[in-house]
C-alpha cells in the first residue's frame, strides 16, 4: 500500500503499541542543549538510570551563550552553572558535546544538519520546539519536554500518538525578492497558529522542490508556529548533495547503501493524505508580522487590520495586539520605525542568509537610529562567512558581527531589547516579551527584509530598497 514519508518513518521506528493506545517509537537522533536537559539528567540520577544509547545523543550550548564575550567563567553565574552541568552530564554519560571553541558549537538546529547528523528517514528529538527544522531532510523531527528528554536518554524511545498528515503544496514560482521566510509566514498566516494541531505538515510543490536545503530548513523550522507537530520535505537530490562529504555521513559503499535507504523513505507518488492545501508561489509577497503571534502577518504593502472587522474572541486578540505593538488599525506597516535589527537564529542564521544580505548591503549603511546585530548560527557558519569576507561587509554597513548562539531570538543571554524597542527580526516568534523586555516589540521578517529595515530605519520593502526585480 502506498505510504507517505511520515508513515514510512513511523513504521520503521515502531517498537510496539503501548497500553494507553500510544506507540513506542525508537529515536534515531537525540539532540540536547543546556536549557531543557539538566533537569532530565537529574531525573535519571534520581532513578539510578543510565543513558541507553549515548552514541545517539549529541549536545551543544546555544540559548544562554553570550555573543559578545563568551570567555569562561560566563559573567552570568546561572548561565555558567547551566553550561557546567551540561559539560559534566555529557562527560559522565559518554555523550559527545560540541563545545564552544571546538569549531563545532552552534545553535542545535544548525549544528545537526551541518555535521551530517541529520539524515533522511530518521526520527529526531530535542527539548526544543524548533526541532521541526530537521524535517527539511525528510525526518520526523519533534520538539519534546524535559520529562521526554529523560525518556529518550533512558530508553532511546518515546511514547507517541500518531498524527494526521497535511500536504501543503506551493506550486509555480516565487517572485523576485520573495524568500522562504515569506513563504512560511504566508502559510502560517493563512492556516493559523493552531491550524496544524494534530497534523504533520508535508511541504511539497515546485517552489519547495526548487529550494536549497537552507531554505527548506527555514520552512520546516516554523512548522511549530503553525501548530503542527512537525513538518517535513521529501528527500531528493538537493538533500543528498547537501549531505555528501559532511563529517557524520557515510562514505564509499556505505554511502551507496545509505542513499538507497534514504530514497526509499520519500512519500510514494500515490500516497494518501488526511488533508491537502495548495498555494501559488506567484501570490506570495514579502511578509512581515504586525502583532504578537506569527500568524498576525501581512504583505509589506498591506495595511494593519481593523479589529472592528474581526468577529468574536479574535477581535480582542487583534485589539490587544495592536495595543501592545502601539500600532494603528488601517495604517500601513511599511514605514513603522524600528530600533533594532537582528539577523540570526535557527530560522535564518545560516551561511546563505548572510550571503544573500551581504550582496545587498555592500556599500549601504544601517540608519543611525538602529542597533543592528548579525549572529551566525554556528562556529562553522561564522568561519565560512569570515572566509568569504561577509563579516566585513556587515561591519562596514554598521552591523555588529557576533559570536554564534541563539542571541536575541529569546534573550536568555545578554542580547535583549530595552523597554518598548521595536526589533525587525529574522527569528521565529513575536510573542509578548519574547526578546527579553516585557514591553519589547518584535516584527518578524526575512533576513533581506531585516536588512532593508535596518538601512531605512523603518519597516521597508526590500525590493524597493535594494532595487530587486
Residue 353 in grid coordinates: 542568509
Residue 95 contacts another protein per CB under 8 A: no
Residue 324 in grid coordinates: 501592545
Residue 143 contacts another protein per CB under 8 A: yes
The full DSSP string for 169-226 is EEES-PPTT--HHHHHHHHHHHH-TTTTTTEEEEEESHHHHTS-HHHHHHHHHGGGGG
Rounded-to-integer distance, Cα 228 and Cα 463, Å: 31
Residue 48 contacts another protein per CB under 8 A: no
Residue 39 contacts another protein per CB under 8 A: yes
CB of 120 to another protein, least distance (A): 13
Rounded-to-integer distance, Cα 285 and Cα 9, Å: 34
Binding-residue pattern over the window 5 to 24 for another protein, x denoting contact by CB under 8 A: -------xxxxx-xxxxx-x
Q: Which of residues 186-205 bind another protein (CB under 8 A)?
A: 193-194, 197-198
Residue 429 contacts another protein per CB under 8 A: yes
State which residue, 26 or 240, has the beta carbon closest to another protein.
26
Residue 234 contacts another protein per CB under 8 A: no
Number of residues that bind another protein (CB under 8 A): 76
Residue 81 contacts another protein per CB under 8 A: yes
Q: What burial class does residue 405 get, using C-beta atoms within 10 Å of its C-beta: 0-12 exposed, 13-18 middle, 19+ buried?
A: buried
Residue with cell 526575512: 446
State which residue, 178 or 373, has the beta carbon closest to another protein.
373
| Torsion sign over Cα 76, 343, 59, 247 | negative
Of 109, 150, 181, 186, which lies in the binding site for another protein, with binding defined by CB under 8 A? 150
Of 1, 176, 269, 313, which lies in the binding site for another protein, with binding defined by CB under 8 A? 313
Query: Residues 5, 266: contact at Cβ < 8 Å?
Result: yes
Binding-residue pattern over the window 250 to 279 for another protein, x denoting contact by CB under 8 A: ------------------------------
Residue 60 in grid coordinates: 551543544
Residue 310 contacts another protein per CB under 8 A: no
Of 209, 320, 362, 420, which lies in the binding site for another protein, with binding defined by CB under 8 A? 320
Query: Residues 75, 66: contact at Cβ < 8 Å?
Result: yes
Residue with cell 513506542: 24
State which residue, 189 or 334, has the beta carbon closest to another protein.
189
Amino acid at each position: 500500500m502506498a505510504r507517505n514519508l511520515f508513515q514510512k518513518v513511523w513504521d520503521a521506528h515502531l517498537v510496539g503499541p503501548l497500553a494507553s493506545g500510544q506507540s513506542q517509537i525508537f529515536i534515531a537522533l537525540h539532540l540536547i542543549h543546556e536549557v531543557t536537559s539538566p533537569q532530565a539528567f537529574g531525573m535519571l540520577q534520581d532513578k539510578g538510570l543510565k543513558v541507553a544509547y549515548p552514541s545517539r545523543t549529541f549536545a551543544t550550548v546555544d540559548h544562554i551563550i553570550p555573543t559578545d564575550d563568551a570567555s569562561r567563567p560566563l559573567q552570568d553565574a546561572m548561565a555558567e552553572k547551566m553550561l557546567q552541568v551540561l559539560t559534566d552530564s555529557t562527560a559522565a554519560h559518554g555523550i559527545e558535546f560540541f563545545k564552544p571553541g571546538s569549531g563545532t558549537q552552534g545553535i542545535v538546529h544548525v549544528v545537526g544538519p551541518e555535521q551530517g547528523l541529520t539524515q533522511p528517514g530518521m526520527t529526531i528529538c530535542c527539548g526544543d520546539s524548533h526541532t521541526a527544522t530537521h524535517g527539511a531532510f525528510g525526518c520526523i523531527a519533534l520538539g519534546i519536554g524535559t520529562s521526554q528528554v529523560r525518556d529518550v536518554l533512558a530508553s532511546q524511545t518515546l511514547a507517541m500518538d500518531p498524527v494526521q498528515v497535511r500536504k501543503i503544496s506551493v506550486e509555480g514560482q516565487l517572485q523576485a525578492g520573495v524568500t522562504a521566510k515569506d513563504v512560511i509566514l504566508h502559510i502560517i498566516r493563512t492556516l493559523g497558529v493552531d491550524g496544524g494541531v494534530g497534523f504533520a505538515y508535508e511541504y511539497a510543490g515546485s517552489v519547495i522542490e526548487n529550494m536549497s536545503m537552507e531554505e527548506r530548513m527555514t520552512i520546516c523550522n516554523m512548522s511549530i508556529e503553525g501548530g503542527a507537530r512537525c513538518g517535513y520535505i521529501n528527500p531528493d537530490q538537493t538533500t543528498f548533495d547537501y549531505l555528501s562529504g559532511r563529517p557524520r555521513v557515510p562514505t564509499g559503499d556505505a554511502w551507496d547503501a545509505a542513499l538507497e535507504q534514504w530514497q526509499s523513505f520519500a512519500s510514494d507518488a500515490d500516497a494518501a493524505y488526511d488533508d491537502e492545501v495548495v498555494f501559488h508561489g506567484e501570490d506570495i509577497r514579502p511578509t512581515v508580522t504586525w502583532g504578537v503571534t506569527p500568524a498576525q502577518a501581512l504583505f509589506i504593502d498591506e495595511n494593519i487590520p481593523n479589529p472592528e472587522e474581526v468577529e468574536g474572541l479574535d477581535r480582542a486578540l487583534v485589539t490587544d495586539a495592536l495595543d501592545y505593538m502601539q500600532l494603528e488599525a488601517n495604517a500601513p506597516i511599511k514605514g513603522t520605525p524600528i530600533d533594532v535589527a537582528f539577523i540570526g537564529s535557527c530560522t535564518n542564521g545560516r551561511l546563505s542568509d548572510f550571503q544573500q544580505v551581504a550582496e545587498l548591503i555592500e556599500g549601504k549603511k544601517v540608519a543611525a537610529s538602529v542597533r543592528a546585530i548579525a549572529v551566525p548560527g554556528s562556529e562553522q557558519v561564522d568561519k565560512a562567512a569570515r572566509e568569504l569576507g561577509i563579516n566585513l561587509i556587515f561591519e562596514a554597513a554598521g552591523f555588529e558581527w557576533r559570536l554564534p548562539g541563539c542571541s536575541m531570538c529569546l534573550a536568555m543571554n545578554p542580547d535583549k531589547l530595552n523597554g518598548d524597542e521595536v526589533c525587525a527580526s529574522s527569528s521565529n516568534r513575536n510573542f509578548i516579551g519574547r526578546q527579553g523586555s516585557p514591553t519589547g516589540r518584535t516584527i518578524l521578517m526575512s533576513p533581506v527584509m531585516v536588512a532593508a529595515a535596518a538601512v531605512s530605519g523603518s519597516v521597508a520593502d526590500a525590493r524597493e530598497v535594494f532595487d530587486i526585480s
